[in-house]
Amino acid sequence: MCKKVRDSYTDTQLPVTADSHDVPTLDDAPLKAALDLAPCPVPIWLPDRQSQTLFGALAAPFNRIRFVRERVDTPDGDFLDLDWNAPALQLRVRRQQDPALAHTAAVRWITPTDQERLHTSPAQPALLLLHGLEGSSQSRYAQSITQYFLATGWLVVVAHFRGCSGFPNRLARAYHSGDSEEIAFILKTVRQRAPEAQWHAIGVSLGGNALLKTLGETAAQFSWLRAAAAVSAPLDLVAAGNHLSDNVFNREIYSRYFLRTLKPKVLEKSRRFPGVIDVMRLNQARDLRDFDNVYTAPMHGFRDAEDYWHQSSSKPWLKHILTPTLILNARNDPFLPEQMLPGPAYGSASVVFHQPALGGHVGFVTGMWPGNLSWLPKRLATFFSDTKKALPT
């Protein structure tokens, strides 16, 4: 297990942005999180943050895992798609795939027989995975995490945020980084499907921020959750949003990459909901700040991008988390400046901050060429295993 280091940051190493009025003071909580600085052994042929991030997202080899899909109606008349897999479902091939799902990682829609197999014994470990911005069950990190946990006997479900499952959602709204109500709905829904399972949750990037915020805001509601983890979560959205929009490389590579799918989705919505979206400003958006100003913020009840980022950041909520939680951020993550990573005083005693020097944003590629993505799921599994050992019998 990685060594935990407490109090490695001094108070002066806990930076606060000029407008971060919601960041907790250092005297609010007597108990601090643990800090783990153990390295991720990134190969020498990935020498910097950009190569580690881009190779992990676009080129690292992975096995293609298939799912059965369940569509769940939301309380506001929309829907979410959940992709399920478990050893009992035996979904190792793509045969007999539903043509309507050919562009997804799902083989078919869930059947009553599939649902029966999800009602597992009390000893069955289960994992909910929340993807990042414009991610899905096809994302490399989702595939590698699913593969690892399936191989060790876990039930796995990947929950798609609205509009990310390969189908446009019904409403003009979409999803955002601070939607605690949606995360709570997802958590309760998957638990209903397998109420006796030992549930764990992982959120990646945007999904990680949303999960952490939810666990901090409504900690007592999820005491049934055995453990949680957030991978490369943009804990301070103001810092991350500004960095992705103002840094030239980030704006031209990462922001452009996200906008290539975000903008067409919203333009499609504008045709279904005429007059609701400022199409001219949307077409002119060149970075995530522009996009959030035009669409995300006003559509989801925020004043502007800055207000959305402030209110949706998970960083102020980390000291309220009661669920054993691993927060994994590489210190060279290009999405979040290293100086904005929280030190132990920002987390509760239930939190472990793991901050290796290298890894990029959801990269964590290891091994000889062409590399592999096994380090991340192994680290997550180790944390879950250690948490289980620490629970009272």
- CA torsion sign for 196, 323, 238, 181 is positive
- Burial degree of 383 (CB within 10 A; 0-12, 13-18, 19+): buried
- Helix (H) / strand (E) element for 130: namely strand 125-130
Distances (CA, A) of 236 to 27, 318, 345: 20, 11, 15
Q: Which of 205, 232, 313, 348 is catalytic?
A: 205
Q: How far apart are CA 2 and CA 25, in angstroms?
A: 28
Q: What letter represents residue 60's amino acid?
A: A
Q: What angle do CA 5, 6, 9 make, to 5 degrees?
A: 100
Residues contacting 5, CB < 8 A, separation 6+: 34, 35, 36, 37
What is the separation of C-alpha 313 from the centre of its chain, rounded to a whole number of angstroms?
A: 13
Q: Which of 176, 243, 354, 361 is catalytic?
A: 361
Active site residue 205: yes
Q: Which of 131, 292, 333, 348 is catalytic?
A: 333
CB 61 within 8 A of CB 372: yes
Active site residue 361: yes
Residues 258-291, buried b or exposed e (16+ Cβ, 10 A)?
A: bbeebbebbeebbeeeeeebeeeebeebebbbbb
Structural tokens at position 382: 């180790």
CB 354 within 8 A of CB 364: no
Active site residue 139: no
Q: What letter represents residue 258's amino acid?
A: F
**Residues belonging to the active site:** 205, 333, 361
